[in-house]
Amino acid sequence: MKEVFTMWKSTKMIVLTAVTAAIYAAVLIPFKAIPLVPGFTEVRPGNMIPVAFGLFFGPAGAWGAAIGNTLGDIFGSTFGVGSLFGLVGNFLFAYVPYKLWENLGVLKADEQAPDCRGIKKIILYMFLAILASAACGLFIAWGVDLLGFVPFSVLGTIIPINNAIAACVLGFILTILLFPRIKKWDLYWRDVMPEGDLPKGGPLARVGAYVMLASIVICLPVALFLAYSIGGVQAPAVMGVAGIGSIGCLIGGALQN
Note whether residue 153 is domain-resident.
yes
Q: What is the DSSP string of 45-63?
A: GGGHHHHHHHHHHTHHHHH
Domain-located, residue 165: yes
> Is 34 domain-assigned?
yes
Residue partners of 58: CB distance under 8 A and separation at least 6: 3, 7, 98, 189, 190, 193
One-letter amino acid at 118 equals G
Highest mean pLDDT pick, 38-47, 71-80, 90-99: 90-99
**Domain with 194 in it: what CATH number?**
1.10.1760.20
Give yes or no for residue 222 having a pLDDT over 90. Answer: yes
In the prediction, which pLDDT does 96 show?
97
Specify the higher pLDDT residue, 134 or 111.
Answer: 134
pLDDT value of position 234? 85
pLDDT digits (tens, 9 = 90+) for 137-152: 999 999 999 999 999 9
Give the number of other CB atoms < 10 A from CB of residue 199. Answer: 21
Query: Domain range for residue 49?
Result: 3-198
In a domain, 150, yes or no: yes
Of 66, 68, 64, the residue nearest 17 (C-alpha): 64
Residue 38: pLDDT over 80: no
Q: Is the pLDDT confidence value at 102 over 80?
A: yes
Confidence of residue 32 (pLDDT cuts 50, 70, 90): confident
Residue 27 belongs to a domain? yes
In a domain, 167, yes or no: yes
pLDDT the model gives residue 2? 87
- In this prediction, residue 45 carries a pLDDT of 86
**Sequential DSSP letters for 98-125:** HHHHHHSS-S-GGG-S----SHHHHHHH
- As a whole number of angstroms, the distance between CA 91 and CA 85 comes to 10
Task: Please count the structural domains in the chain.
Answer: 1
- Identify the pLDDT of residue 201: 82
d(CA 216, CA 224): 12
Q: Per the domain annotation, does 239 fall within a domain?
A: no
29 part of a folded domain? yes
pTM to 2 decimals?
0.94
